[in-house]
Structure 1
Amino acid sequence: MITTLFRTLGREHAGPLRRTLALMVGCAIAEGLSYAFLVPVLRILFGDTPSDIGPWLIGFGASVAVYAVLRYVSDLSGFRVGTSLLRGVYHRLGDQLVRLPLGWYRADRVGELSATASRGVLQSMSVIAHMLAPFVSACLTPLTIVVVITAYDLRMGLAAAAAIPVVTAVQLWSARATAATDAERAARDHEATARVVEYLQAQPVLRAGGRTAERFRLLDDSLDGIRRASRRSTIAAVPGMVATTVTVQTAFTALLALGTYLAIGGDLAVPDMLALVVLAGCCAEPLLSLSEIGGKLRAARGELTRLDAFLSTPPLPEPARPMRPQGHDIEFDSVVFRRDGRAVIDGLSLAVPQGRRFAVVGPSGAGKSTLLQLLARFHDVDAGSVRIGGVDVRDIATDVLMSQIAVVFQDVYLFEGTLEENVRLGRPDATDDEVRAAGAAAGLDEVIERLPDGWSSRVGEGGAMLSGGERQRVSIARALLKDAPIVLLDETTSALDPENEAVVRAGLERLTAGRTVLMVAHRLHTVRDADRIVFLDRGRIVEQGTHDELVRRGGRYAQFWEMSVGVASPVRAS
Structure 2
Amino acid sequence: MIRRLLATLPPADRRRLRVGVALTVAAALAQGAAYACAVPFLRALLAGRPAAAWAPLGWLAGAAAVYAVAHVAATVQGRRTGYALARTLLHRMGNQVSGLPLGWFTPRRSGELAQLATRDIMTIMSAPGHLLGPVLTAFVTPAAVAAVLLVLDWRLGVAAGAAAPVIVASYRWTGAVVRRTERGAAAAAAESAARVVEFATVLPALRAAGRAEDGLASLEHALGAQRAAGRAMARQALPAVAGFAVAVQAGLTAVLVVAAVLGLGGRLDAGTALAALVLAARCTEPMLVAAQLGAAVRMAGNALDRVAALAATPTLPAPTRPQRIRGDDISFTDVRMTFGGTRALDGVSFTAPAGGRTALVGPSGAGKSTVAALIARFHDPDAGTVRVGGADLRQVPTPELMARLSLVFQDVYLFDGTLWDNIAVGRPDAGPDAVRAAAADARVDEIAGRLPRGYDTPVGPGGALLSGGERQRVSLARALLADTPIVILDEATAALDAENEAAVTAAVARFTAGRTVVVIAHRLETVRHADQILFLDAGRIVERGTHETLVAAGGRYARFCAQRAEAAGWQLRAVAGDPAAPVPG
**TM-score, normalised to structure 2's length?**
0.87
Q: Which moved more, 1:410-419 or 1:505-514?
A: 410-419
Structure 2 residue aligned with 1:398: 398
Percent identity of the aligned residues?
A: 47
Relative distance call for 1:215 and 1:499 in structure 2 (3 A) is closer
Write out per-residue CA displacement over residues 88-120 of structure 1, whole angstroms, 9 at most, x where no aligned residue. Answer: 544554454444444433333333233332333
Structure 2 residue aligned with 1:420: 420
Alignment of 1:18-417 (within 5 A): 18-47=18-47, 49=49, 51-87=51-87, 89-205=89-205, 208=208, 216-261=216-261, 269=269, 271-313=271-313, 315-417=315-417
Look up the SS of the partner of 1:108 in the other structure: helix
Structure 2 residue aligned with 1:533: 533
Write out per-residue CA displacement over residues 146-168 of structure 1, whole angstroms, 9 at most, x where no aligned residue. Answer: 23333444443344223222112
Gaps of at least 5 residues in structure 1 are 568-574
Check conservation: 1:329, 1:354, Cα contact below 8 A.
yes
- Residue 213 of structure 1 deviates from its aligned partner by 9.6
RMSD over aligned Cα atoms: 3.1
The one-letter amino acid of 1:492's match is A
**Partners in 2 of 1:198 and 1:290 — Cα distance?**
39
Q: Which moved more, 1:157-166 or 1:128-137?
A: 157-166
**Partners in 2 of 1:327 and 1:374 — Cα distance?**
18
**Partners in 1 of 2:221 and 2:508 — Cα distance?**
45
Structure 2 residue aligned with 1:571: none
Gaps of at least 5 residues in structure 2 are 568-585
**Partners in 2 of 1:449 and 1:57 — Cα distance?**
78
**Partners in 2 of 1:326 and 1:355 — Cα distance?**
14
**Partners in 2 of 1:2 and 1:188 — Cα distance?**
28
Structure 2 residue aligned with 1:503: 503
**Partners in 1 of 2:256 and 2:418 — Cα distance?**
75
**Partners in 2 of 1:20 and 1:419 — Cα distance?**
47
**Partners in 2 of 1:302 and 1:73 — Cα distance?**
28
Check conservation: 1:473, 1:507, Cα contact below 8 A.
no
**Partners in 2 of 1:206 and 1:376 — Cα distance?**
31
Check conservation: 2:423, 2:478, Cα contact below 8 A.
yes
The one-letter amino acid of 1:497's match is D
Look up the SS of the partner of 1:129 in the other structure: helix
The one-letter amino acid of 2:293's match is I
**Partners in 2 of 1:355 and 1:454 — Cα distance?**
36
Structure 2 residue aligned with 1:486: 486
- Residue 372 of structure 1 deviates from its aligned partner by 1.6
Relative distance call for 1:327 and 1:458 in structure 2 (3 A) is same
**Partners in 1 of 2:448 and 2:265 — Cα distance?**
99
Check conservation: 1:8, 1:308, Cα contact below 8 A.
no
**Partners in 2 of 1:557 and 1:209 — Cα distance?**
31
- Residue 240 of structure 1 deviates from its aligned partner by 0.9
The one-letter amino acid of 1:348's match is V
- Residue 535 of structure 1 deviates from its aligned partner by 2.6
**Partners in 2 of 1:534 and 1:207 — Cα distance?**
36
**Partners in 2 of 1:144 and 1:346 — Cα distance?**
70
Structure 2 residue aligned with 1:429: 429
Check conservation: 1:443, 1:507, Cα contact below 8 A.
no
Structure 2 residue aligned with 1:570: none
Check conservation: 1:346, 1:539, Cα contact below 8 A.
yes
Relative distance call for 1:52 and 1:441 in structure 2 (3 A) is closer
**TM-score, normalised to structure 1's length?**
0.88
Write out per-residue CA displacement over residues 516-550 of structure 1, whole angstroms, 9 at most, x where no aligned residue. Answer: 12222234552222222223333333332233333
Write out per-residue CA displacement over residues 352-393 of structure 1, whole angstroms, 9 at most, x where no aligned residue. Answer: 222222222233233321222122111223333221111111
Check conservation: 2:443, 2:500, Cα contact below 8 A.
no
**Partners in 2 of 1:48 and 1:457 — Cα distance?**
81
Write out per-residue CA displacement over residues 214-245 of structure 1, whole angstroms, 9 at most, x where no aligned residue. Answer: 99222222222232222222111221122112
Relative distance call for 1:259 and 1:425 in structure 2 (3 A) is same
Write out per-residue CA displacement over residues 432-481 of structure 1, whole angstroms, 9 at most, x where no aligned residue. Answer: 33333333443445555666765555545544554433432332222222
Check conservation: 2:199, 2:216, Cα contact below 8 A.
yes
